[in-house]
Structure 1
Amino acid sequence: MISLITLDALQTLDAIERRQSFAAAAEELHRVPSAISYTVNKLEEDLGVALFDRSRRKAELTATGRLVLEQGRQILKASEELTALARQAADGWEAELRICIDSVLSCDPVYDLIKAFLCIQPKTEIRLSEEVLGGSWDALSDDRCDLIIGAEGAPPATGFALHSLGKVDFEFAVATGHPLAKLPMPLPASAIQDYPTVIVADSSRRLPVRSSGLLDGRSRIIVPTIGHKIEAQCKGLGVGYLPLHRIRQELAEGRLELLTVDAPRPPVEISVAWHRGDTGKGLMWFVERLKQMQFDPDLGTLTRNP
């Protein structure tokens, strides 16, 4: 069905209402007044409704005319945004950039990058997501994101470009005053088995799920993110390995304490990754800046290379 209301007609109504006269609207739109009158008359004829009340000295919008104008301005705005997006895409900038952050990292340094990016390219929509363990690789493989920050371990397949950010240290932690803290160190696996282990669930949808720091505990408490795992262990619900940089405040506040075990968990390498063939300007902007950064285990954040 062909719409009876054109963008030209909506622009004309908008100009008339803002300038408060047909003549002023004609001047703004660089047309003769008769062309403005013709556009309005034609639209009224096509719709079968009166858009202006001409019984007064100055034409005013009717209730129907006001409705058409208010809804029409939304259409005009959407048209302008679509035009901008088309030009943006033609210039190589993405309309949307999907960034996945692994749960092992905090979002703070990424927020700083986004703020800087939006200063130069505010039209690109940034969509953030959080994944756990293999879920980061799964999101990239399944095209649910364009860039992953903090992905753990090796990629599941070829076709990805990577930049190593460094290694994350994990330590065995329990709530302060936990019974395990009273035992001789290092703790044997047999001692740990007496208490629930808090496990972060892998968020993969298609790839095989990964396990991380599993302990042969009597029972398990499964949580969705590292943040939930930290809180659960602070409350004494269970025990397990935690990324050291994420629990420095809890350690300082006395909510958690570190224990040594006879089977410590080795550091985990984390990376930035993206599809090798993807060269969008927004993606490359983030990649180039992330290539200049490394994970600082002492500060617990991403920092620029010296």
Structure 2
Amino acid sequence: MQSPRNVLTPESLSMLQAIAQTGSFAAAARHLGLVPSALTYRVRQIEDALDVLLFDRSARQARPTQAGAELLREAARLLQEIDTVAHRVQRVATGWEPQLTVSVDGAISPGTVLDLAEAFYALAPPTQLKLREEILTGTLEALTSGRADLAIGVAVNTSNVAGVQLGLLGEVAFIFTVAPHHPLAALPEPLTDATLLGHRLVAVADSAHSGRVSMGLLGGQDVLTVDSMQAKVQTQLRGLGYGFLPEPMARPYIAAGHLVTRRVARPARNVRMYCAWNGAAQPVGGRALQWWLGQLQSPTTQAALLENHPMQAHRMAAGV
């Protein structure tokens, strides 16, 4: 007796579909160019291997049994998957990557990244897309460690990283913000480091696996650490601490009166943001990567990635 794996071939599944569609073994045999006895023999081989009856032969028409109907449902799915795999392989042979992983810094507009993903999928590429959020040096580390193929929002020096190519997205100002009910909102400006030391800082954890970077910390200071820029915004809205936010991200909350800006004694902090990828400055392979790099050259896309930060829903502190 043959095993189910040996008899459940794409050809045999198509044969079972033909029987169900034509309603009889004889009609299916004519459709497939087989003699009826040969088709009947093949069906019995499948039934013996599965130890089930697939068709009720008591009537004039060959009607699938309950087990046969289940196998036919799975057959339709499996045959469709085979066609999909074949199509994907053919497309990959034309230069599309099987998978493209993009690491996106938390300061980058997630909505704009999803807009790009939507436009990418409109091409019906065979490439599977993976998006991962990173923070600070983790955005670049995902690229250099091989966990990502493209990094968007790199804000660290890469001059000593061999083989990494950069494309400038623009410059982002980081501004000091607190909730209007936070004690620092009422103190005279500029706020000195000595004043800030007495209050809690909200920091975003660097997602790098090694050599993590912390920005704006003072020795001995109380720090509340969160794992994303959105969590940092929400924490500051509640007045749980102060911190520096990308100006485009803070802008809608400032306009709504949910955050206020304060001058500090420190120098202004403006950060250049880049996209980064491995390889030649003009990549010749990888059509998915080429498409994304082409989009990232658009000034409109660059501005949207840095600026498009709508206000997210939040819950204000009681009584505020």
Regarding TM over 0.5, the answer is yes
2:206–2:213: 8 Å Cα contact kept in structure 1?
A: yes
Question: Quick one: distance in 1 between partners of 2:54 and 2:40?
Answer: 12
Displacement of 1:139: 1.1
When structure 1 is superposed on structure 2, of 51-60 and 172-181 the one drifting more is: 172-181
Q: CA deviation at 1:268?
A: 1.0
Q: Deviations over 1:59-88 (max 9, x none)?
A: 111233223223333322322222122112
Question: Secondary structure of the equivalent of 1:172?
Answer: strand
User: For the Cα contact (< 8 Å) 1:139–1:145, is it kept in 2?
Assistant: yes
- Aligned 1:5-24 pairs, distance under 5 A: 5-22=8-25
- The question of 1:153 aligning with 2:138 is answered no
| Preserved CA contact (<8 Å) 1:185 1:261 | yes
By how many angstroms is 1:244 displaced? 0.5
* Aligned amino acid, residue 274 of structure 1: W
Give CA deviations for 1:13-66 in whole Å, capped at 9, x if unaligned. Answer: 1232234344554566x5345354443244334445432111111011123322
Moved more, 162-171 or 61-70: 61-70
Letter in 2 for 1:59: A
Secondary structure of 2:103's aligned partner: strand
Contact 1:94 1:282 in 2 (8 A): yes
Q: Conserved in 1, the CA contact under 8 Å of 2:53 and 2:67?
A: yes
Q: Which deviates more, 32-41 or 244-253? A: 32-41
Match of 2:181 among 177, 180, 193: 177
Q: Letter of the aligned partner of 1:280 in structure 2?
A: G
Asked if the contact 1:152–1:268 (Cα under 8 Å) also holds between the matched residues in 2, the reply is yes
Deviation at 1:100, TM superposition (A): 1.6
Q: Does 1:118 align with 2:121?
A: yes
Are 2:224 and 1:240 aligned? no
Identify the range of structure 1 (156-165 vs 223-232) with the bigger mean alpha-carbon deviation: 156-165
CA distance 1:230–1:141, change in 2 (3 Å): same
Q: Is the 8 A contact 2:200 2:242 kept in 1?
A: yes
In the alignment, what sits opposite 2:95? 92
Identity in percent: 35
1:291 to 284, 289, 297: 297
Per-residue CA shift, 1:104-133, capped at 9, x if unaligned?
A: 111122222222221112443222110000
8 Å CA contact 1:96–1:127 kept in 2: the answer is: yes
Equivalences for residues 31-180 of structure 1 within 5 A: 31-32=33-34, 34=36, 36-155=39-158, 157-180=161-184
Which secondary structure state, in structure 1, belongs to the residue aligned with residue 6 of structure 2?
coil
Partner of 1:280: 286
Q: Assess, with a 3 A threshold, how the Cα gap between structure 1 residues 297 and 85 changes in structure 2: closer, same or farther.
A: closer
> Residues of 2 paired with 1:245 and 1:296: CA distance?
10
Q: Is the 8 A contact 1:245 1:298 kept in 2?
A: no
Provide Cα deviations, 1:249-283, integer angstroms capped at 9, x if missing partner.
11011111000111134211111111216731111
Structure 1 residue runs of 5 or longer lacking an equivalent are none
Identify the range of structure 1 (260-269 vs 166-175) with the bigger mean alpha-carbon deviation.
260-269
Q: Distance in 2 between matches of 1:199 and 1:229?
A: 7
CA distance in 2, matches of 1:225, 1:243: 13
Q: Verify the 8 A CA contact 1:197 1:217 in the aligned structure 2.
A: no
8 Å contact kept, 1:88–1:94: no
Task: Give the direction of change, closer, same or farther, for the CA distance of 1:187–1:32 in structure 2 (3 Å limit).
Answer: same
Alpha-carbon contact 2:198-2:221 (below 8 Å) kept: yes
Does the 8 Å contact 1:197/1:215 carry over to 2? Answer: no
Structure 2 partner of 1:300: 307
Partner SS state of residue 120, structure 1: coil
Supply the distance in 1 between the matched residues of 2:306 and 2:82 (Cα, whole angstroms): 47
The range that moved more, 293-302 or 91-100, is: 293-302
User: Alpha-carbon deviation of 1:242?
Assistant: 0.8
What root-mean-square deviation, in Å, do the aligned CA atoms of Structure 1 and Structure 2 show? 2.5
The answer to whether the 8 Å contact 1:199/1:240 transfers is yes
**Structure 1 residues 19 and 216, CA, compared in 2 at 3 Å: closer, same or farther?**
farther
CA contact (8 A) 2:107 2:153 kept: yes
Equivalent pairs counted in the alignment come to 300
Instruction: Report deviation, 1:217.
Output: 6.3
Distance in 1 between residues matched to 2:18 and 2:189, nearest whole Å:
79
Gaps of at least 5 residues in structure 2 are 310-320
